[in-house]
Amino acid sequence: MPEGDTVWRAARRLDRALTGKVLTHTDFRVPQLATWDLSGATVVETISRGKHLLTRIQGDQPWTLHTHLKMEGSWRILAPGQKWPRPGHTARLVLETADAVAVGFQLGIVEVVAREAEAEVVGHLGPDLLGPDWDADEAVRRLREQPERPIKVALLDQSRLAGIGNIYADELCFVAGLAPTTPVAHVPDLRRMVGRAHQMLDLNRRRDVQSTTGDLARGRTFWVHGRGGHPCRRCGTTLVESMLGDPGRERVTSHCPTCQPLR
């Protein structure tokens, strides 16, 4: 699943390509919106909220197009007539202006809501790690509301803080020296961990290569994520993979049993 920094960059691309422009054609390829047409409306802006994208459009009334990439989704900005990089049947939404075509492929969520109803789709989210109103203290407070919850599971809960996906959850646990199953109440410095989360996403949002190690070379960007069975970059211990998460939402989890002892 794309991380918050990936979604932030997608919002910037959509904003640069569409903001201030009139939609000349729209194609909603999801059943519930099949008859919708926003042609003639003007795009006001696109922003990210955690892992959610909000494209604000001024038509006969103020609308907000809410999209979410989920696991496989992406937005591509193309020139008119340019060949699509993915099969047409995977497109869920097409927004066209005079000089740009924005295609949303395999989007997990596509819906249109009245502007005043935005809170109904993103109001449940915790503080946005990359938002202008980022509030570390509020994020810590929300995490502490469930003291027995495993720290990795808590970090993935977007209602605690918004923007962390499986990659950063694994990496944050490693950098903090904590087993992913460590209860939130046993994290010695939760405020510092939240600060590191903000730092990781903030550093990576302006570059195409995500890295938590500081090394941008292929295969050396992460400490533990996706490296189960390989040696730990710090101590050489074989990294372990397991499944962890709320029922039905388990994620592959990588950690070093030596560097990340259970507290």
Residues 88 and 157: their CA atoms lie apart, in Å, by: 33
Residue 217 lies in a domain: yes
* Active-site annotation holder among 9, 49, 51, 149: 51
Residues 198 and 150 in one domain: yes
Count of residues in the chain: 263
* Active-site annotation holder among 2, 127, 150, 180: 2
Copy the structure tokens of residue 32: 């519930």
Mean residue pLDDT of the chain comes to: 96
- How many separate domains does the chain show? 2
- pLDDT, residue 238, reads 98
Residues 116 and 13 in one domain: yes
Residue 263 lies in a domain: no
Residues 236 and 249: their CA atoms lie apart, in Å, by: 30
- pLDDT, residue 182, reads 98
Q: What is the pTM of this model?
A: 0.94
Name 166's Cβ contacts closer than 8 Å, sequence gap at least 6.
1, 156, 225, 251, 252, 253
Positive/negative CA dihedral, 170, 172, 175, 178: negative
- 254 bridge partner residues: 241
Residue 261 lies in a domain: no
Q: What is the mean pLDDT of residues 128-157?
A: 97
Copy the structure tokens of residue 256: 């070093």
Catalytic residue flag (residue 2)? yes
Q: What is the mean pLDDT of residues 131-138?
A: 96
- pLDDT, residue 48, reads 98
Residue 237 lies in a domain: yes
* Active-site annotation holder among 9, 92, 152, 251: 251
CATH number at residue 176: 1.10.8.50
* 262 or 204, higher pLDDT: 204
Catalytic residue flag (residue 188)? no
Domain containing 204 equals 136-255
Buried b (16+ CB within 10 A) or exposed e, 152-182: bbbbbbbebbbbbbbbbbbbbbbbbebbbbb
Q: What is the mean pLDDT of residues 239-254?
A: 94
Q: What is the mean pLDDT of residues 201-208?
A: 93
Q: Is the pLDDT of residue 263 over 90?
A: no
Q: State the distance between the two ends of the chain, measured CA to CA, in whole angstroms.
A: 28
Q: What is the DSSP secondary structure assignment for residue 103, as one 8-state letter?
A: E
Q: What is the mean pLDDT of residues 210-218?
A: 95
> Crossing angle for the helix pair 190-204 and 136-144, nearest 10 degrees?
130
pLDDT confidence bin for 1, thresholds 50/70/90: low
55-113: pLDDT as tens digits: 999 999 999 999 999 989 999 999 999 999 999 999 999 999 999 999 999 999 999 99
Catalytic residue flag (residue 80)? no
